[in-house]
Amino acid sequence: MKSSKPRRIITPVKPQRVRDPVHNLIEFGTGQFEHTLWRVIQEPPFQRLRRIRQLGFSEFVFPGATHTRFAHSIGVFYIARSLMKLIERHVGNASGQFLEYQSRLALAAALVHDVGHGMFSHAFEEVARDFNLDMGKHEDVSKAVIKDSEITNVFNTELGSGFSNDVADLIGSKEPGSLYDAVVSSQFDADRLDYMQRDRLMTGVQSSGFDLPWLLANLEIGSVQTGTDDEGTGSIETLVLGPKAAQTAESYVLSLFHLYPNVYLHKTTRGAEKIFGVLVRRMLRLGLDGQEALVGLASNHPLIRFVKDPTRLAHALVLDDAVFWGALPMLIEAQDSQIQKLAKALYERHLPAGIDIRRQVEMALPIKKDEPRPHWRARLTLVCAQIEAALKAEPLADPDGAARILVDRYERVPYKRYADSNSPLNRILIRMGVGEPGDVAEMSPVIAGAEPFSIFRAYVFRDDTEARQVVENIVRTEIGGSTNGHA
């Protein structure tokens, strides 16, 4: 009688699905590549993104803005895959060769591009840059995580040795190097196409909408010259919008631009970010000076391990929004009075008042008759720079001191023209007829004439009349000097 060998039972791979408020159903297929990406999602570095909110302190203004970088990252992959299918169709119709490896690199990069974000994302990065820490640029941290973590093992085991390094290098590149790279990083990339929709939906902001299905339906692949008219150096294929999408492309650029004053640079959100930044700075100063006991947390708390040795990337990666919020009740009981004050301000949402200095300067120095607007803006910028320098020279504005005056200045351009981006792959191009596609800024007089959006504010606590008076006196003095012909 023959002995029967046990039969090997093969468990079929099932498609995995994610319900998403923006894209509805996002499915990861049963093929090896998408199954590998699904495995990456299960790893701790990616799961950590569940505990980092996409918009940081924006929920102080928009209660629904509690969505995470986890959801955003999956959404970016979804859009990147849609763009990549378009590229594959174009290459097939043109009887060309679709670069499967390049495609996979771009899709993997789209999924993991945010794994390097720290707690409260950009607010934490600002502090890290001041202290010259590795967490000062999330793209660099993402590269480090992808090259040396559980994600590395999954990528290299399933998709070949060196795959993780190639993904990390793509994320770290300053400009897209190919049509495939542009899906991940350009002015019309999957990242922007997701967060613009997601942030608008979750904040409830009714403006800043654009017709994504129409944009995608009119997306083509076109060839553009890589050099100037005088120095043609060849051509390169890139994403191009058809003529029917011209107005929608204009709406896309302006929608992103409007998200900044309406959401990202909201005065209350920025005020909370400034308080957070000063609080973390104070904790770092105490930790680096060996006075971490004054912070009010146990010696094995993740925040204490970080402030004692912030140069170790592993210490920073343990931190997330949940760790910080959980520490606030203890920080309120800290021995250090400044930490007490700042922690309580965030915990109870007693945020500082914002003084709109830019607006005051604009009202005091209106545009003159027949004065070109660029000249007027230059005058405003000069006075704002003088006020900023005077404020930062004040002891009350020292971020490592009492920090009773918090200065916030920022400028955002609506669209980077070719001269500012160095690559045609980083432009939004439109084909309006025969000939080479043109830049949206050249096709749209609205975008061509759009000025940068500028903010300049000072924040003071509402009961600090002395700090407010210092700000008002400096603003009054500098504006007075300008109106008297000194600037």
Q: How far apart are CA 299 and CA 309, in angstroms?
A: 12
Amino acid at 397: A
- The mean pLDDT value of the chain amounts to 91
The pLDDT > 70 percentage for the chain reads 94
For 351-368, letters b (16+ CB in 10 Å) and e give bbebbebbebbbebbeee
The answer to whether 251 touches 211, Cβ cutoff 8 Å, is: yes
Confidence label for 397 from pLDDT (cuts 50, 70 and 90): very high
Query: Which of the pair, 301 or 11, is modelled with greater confidence?
Result: 301
Lowest mean pLDDT among 25-34, 180-189, 376-385: 180-189
Residue 32 pLDDT exceeds 60: yes
The answer to whether 33 touches 40, Cβ cutoff 8 Å, is: no
DSSP state of 53: B
pLDDT for position 197: 95
Q: What is the mean pLDDT of residues 83-97?
A: 85
Residue 73 pLDDT exceeds 90: yes
Dmax (CA) for the chain in angstroms is: 110
pLDDT for position 487: 46
Summarised one tens digit per residue, pLDDT across range 238-274 is 889 999 999 999 999 999 999 999 999 999 999 999 9
Summarised one tens digit per residue, pLDDT across range 44-67 is 999 999 999 999 999 999 999 999
Confidence label for 143 from pLDDT (cuts 50, 70 and 90): very high
Q: What angle do CA 207, 208, 214 make, to 5 degrees?
A: 120
Confidence label for 175 from pLDDT (cuts 50, 70 and 90): confident
* Cβ neighbour number for residue 214 with a 10 Å cutoff: 16
pLDDT for position 7: 59
pLDDT for position 226: 72
Q: What is the mean pLDDT of residues 445-464?
A: 93
The pLDDT > 90 percentage for the chain reads 74
Question: What's the whole-model pTM score?
Answer: 0.92
